[in-house]
Structure 1
């Protein structure tokens, strides 16, 4: 049974218990009413609404604003009916309203479903105004005494405290569900890692060793197997995705380090800060894609054995910088412009375009004989965030 179900069962129990208390008071006091039959009529309305509300609030599909407004309207109407049923003398003497504590159920419903303490306080104020109007309608506005005032204060505190506690409980349940989900994901990752280690990784390691011993074309196969082995070990060794930092925000934030670490291999060294580098998930995916495009250029256009380095920096100034550097042959400074003019837009679209859409900048530093460095700077508040 979830927390929400338990809360609504508690509200339903309170409705029934407070209805029985109100029925007992009406039975004891009906001889002194100005309209005794009116007291029984109000009790009948309360009983019917208790049955309907208990049924309606048990279904999450019906717990909308219309039902909450109707609940508050019925409670207020029963309070106002006191001005017609009770005698003016009893109202002036401070006798409680006909529904007494039964009306607090509407306040509790607003506190549970309506959004926390603000909704609970608003509902209590409506009931409080109805209590004061009873004296005004009876023609005795000056008879509002300490009993009426104390009842209003208790309703206000109930809406405030219950709403606040419910909000804390719901947040705690959401965090617990997230923790259980992460634990399950971690266990599944560990299970898969064990199975992969016992099969795929061992095969890749054997291919890498045997290929290196055989040489020739097998050496190239060994190199590829080694890269895939390293990438796979990095993937299964990474933890679960970073949890969102702002629940309900425009986008979840993930640790950019986790995404970039997956590109590490024997020929690619990835260096990241020791602390998390949170970035909105859509922006983080675009940065990773730009890095992947830069590394793909190294593999396609540089000689075999070319090494690459990926460096992630977060200086705490609202920007992150990712640089991809290689020790390849480099290229002339006008090479990219010529490629763009010829319609080859790999760097222009895969790297510059992605970073530009995020509000960042790209700098390419290269010359024949000294490799290439691509530096991407992205604001933490730009682009998709």
Structure 2
């Protein structure tokens, strides 16, 4: 039952204690014209206390809460017949006494402070009608009504906060368990599969020929597998948002270096997938037009309410007019796969190319404002296997000192 179960047990204890107090008042206090009828009402209260305690322990719903409220009001409205018409103006406590607070607390725990206040107002109206016969001074009953309303509001608020805290604790425990499982799997994979792939890559490069191609493929698979076991569990994403950095790091390989912030780079899930697809299309163009030996670098960063992904390569660059010519010939790799995706998200695409010095494709899309990823992003290590790491800006200066953003150059995307 968790923390919420403790609230329901406390309500059950309150009902029993209030029932005992009402019985004590009926047995010791005077002013009741029909005491036998009062004991009959008290018997109904006792039966409902037992029944409600059991019912709330099994299932809770609005029907049960409504019945609880109606039974309590029925017992309260029976007080004038037990006490006589002069008891209310005389200030005699109704036969239910404080037992009427039970359904208020139940509604508050189940539905929050608004439900608790609503139930308190209904009970208070019935109580004032019972006590207010013949127009006696309402100061004392009003104090009781105010206390009942405040109790419904406070208990409902605390119960709602407690439920949320319990849900967050549960999610944290699940994420911790998932993280431990990922670490266990990562250790097993590192001790077996990754070592074999590393060996195949090294030996293939040493042998050369067709074995070198096999080694290259083994290296790419090793990089992809390392990124898969290193990626954060899906539970780190917020509702409706995805970490673009996780999607981009899947492109990392021996030929592609990916640099992302150390903190999540959150975008709406659909937007993040579209940006990642555009980056994938740009990298496909690098392989197609620059050759298998071309290197590419991907840098993702957040700045001023937008996310920018820069893709660069060290290929031969794009000749002037080549993109327009490719689009006229119906080759729409840049126009649709890249520019079409990004502009559809309200973003922009800038292609900069210098013949003989490679190409840079800069994708910029608006981000949620403010980004729910916390404090400004700080750069972590690069995610390329076998690379010594370092800051993205350092990698940028090392490869393309003439860059406008100091980021990473990206390949000859010719459509």
CA distance in 2, matches of 1:18, 1:135: 19
**Alignment-derived partner of residue 133 in structure 1:** 129
**Alignment-derived partner of residue 138 in structure 2:** 144
SS at match of 2:134: coil
Instruction: Give the 3 Å change call, closer, same or farther, for CA 357–215 of structure 1 in structure 2.
Output: same
Larger % of helix: which?
Answer: 1
- CA deviations over 1:36-56 (Å, ceiling 9, x no partner): 454244334423433442233
**Alignment-derived partner of residue 248 in structure 1:** none
Instruction: Give the 3 Å change call, closer, same or farther, for CA 48–355 of structure 1 in structure 2.
Output: farther
Shift of 1:307: 0.9
Q: Which has the higher contact order (CA 8 A, sep 6+)?
A: 2
Give unmatched runs, 5+ long, in structure 2: 373-415
Shift of 1:70: 3.1
Instruction: Give the 3 Å change call, closer, same or farther, for CA 227–96 of structure 1 in structure 2.
Output: same
Shift of 1:155: 1.7
- State which drifts further: 126-135 or 172-181: 126-135
- CA deviations over 1:244-295 (Å, ceiling 9, x no partner): 55xxxxx343433233223222211222234442223332233223222322
- CA deviations over 1:9-37 (Å, ceiling 9, x no partner): 322332233223323433445x7434445
The one of 319, 323, 328 aligned to 2:306:
319
Instruction: Give the 3 Å change call, closer, same or farther, for CA 40–181 of structure 1 in structure 2.
Output: same
Instruction: Give the 3 Å change call, closer, same or farther, for CA 123–267 of structure 1 in structure 2.
Output: same
**Alignment-derived partner of residue 292 in structure 1:** 280
Shift of 1:204: 0.7
CA distance in 2, matches of 1:34, 1:47: 21
Give unmatched runs, 5+ long, in structure 1: 246-250
CA distance in 2, matches of 1:269, 1:212: 20
TM-score, with length taken from structure 2: 0.79
Instruction: Give the 3 Å change call, closer, same or farther, for CA 51–333 of structure 1 in structure 2.
Output: farther
SS at match of 1:312: strand
1:58 aligns with 2:57: yes
**Alignment-derived partner of residue 301 in structure 1:** 289
Contact 2:300 2:308 in 1 (8 A): yes
| CA RMSD of superposed structures (Å) | 2.8
Instruction: Give the 3 Å change call, closer, same or farther, for CA 344–76 of structure 1 in structure 2.
Output: farther
**Alignment-derived partner of residue 259 in structure 1:** 247
